[in-house]
């Protein structure tokens, strides 16, 4: 009987961890951090915000491939620009482009590792199967550096990251 209980506890632990992780992730673009959910620390304030498709300044093409690379991996924009990313997955396996701060992306990648099948769709990201194309519209409103990465487990570690320099 004791064995049974410990198995139950083990079985529950990952679910609990996920529930906490998911909660702390928050993924709220509004920046309401007053609730005390400090674990994930998703501070989206400096990375910009979802863009209005009607106000796109220009289009930037990005290719993702199975060599775990974004091409280009360095993108220059001006503060205030709304960019429509035209993203193509030229590989065979799924890839995604997630915009955020490097700290947030790493935290999110950890959550993904705990929950490999985790379905997540947020305004700051797009997931594409092999051969698929898609678009992502984002406004870079402050000068600085904004990172992006593929958060599919192992990809970020393999170098699937990029940078937007906002001037």
Q: Which residues contact Cu ion (rule: CB under 5 A)?
A: 95, 150, 152, 155, 160
Closer CB to Cu ion, 99 or 160, in the complex? 160
Gap between the Cα atoms of 40 and 111, Å rounded: 9
SS3 of residue 86 by DSSP: strand
User: Which residue's Cβ lies closest to Cu ion?
Assistant: 150
Helix axes 2-25, 102-114, angle to 10 degrees: 150
Q: How far is the CB of 160 from Cu ion (least distance, A)?
A: 5
Nearer to Cu ion, 9 or 158 (CB): 158
CB of 103 to Cu ion, least distance (A): 19
Closer residue to Cu ion in complex, CB, 156/166 = 156
Q: How far is CA 120 from CA 6, 124, 126, 155, in A?
A: 31, 11, 9, 16
Cβ 97 to Cu ion, closest distance in Å?
9
Report the alpha-carbon distance of residue 75 to residue 62 in Å, rounded: 9
Q: 27: closest CA among 85, 95, 107?
A: 107
Q: Closest approach of Cβ 72 to Cu ion, in Å? A: 16
Smallest distance, Cu ion to C-beta of residue 69, A: 9
Report the distance separating Cα 167 and Cα 78, nearest Å: 5
């Amino acid at each position: 009987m004791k064995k049974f209980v410990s198995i139950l506890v083990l079985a529950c632990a990952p679910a609990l961890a996920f529930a906490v992780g998911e909660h702390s992730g928050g993924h709220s673009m509004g920046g309401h951090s007053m609730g005390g959910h400090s674990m994930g620390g998703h501070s989206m304030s400096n990375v910009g915000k979802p863009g209005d498709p009607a106000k796109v300044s220009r289009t930037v093409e990005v290719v993702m491939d199975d060599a775990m690379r974004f091409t280009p991996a360095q993108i220059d924009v001006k503060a205030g620009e709304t960019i429509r990313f035209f993203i193509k997955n030229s590989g065979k396996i799924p890839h995604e482009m997630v915009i955020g701060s490097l700290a947030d992306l790493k935290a999110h990648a950890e959550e993904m590792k705990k929950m490999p099948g985790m379905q997540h769709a947020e305004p700051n990201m797009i997931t594409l199967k092999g051969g698929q194309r898609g678009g992502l519209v984002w406004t870079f409103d402050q000068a600085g550096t904004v990172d992006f990465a593929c958060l599919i487990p192992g990809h970020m570690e393999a170098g699937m990251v990029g940078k937007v320099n906002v001037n």
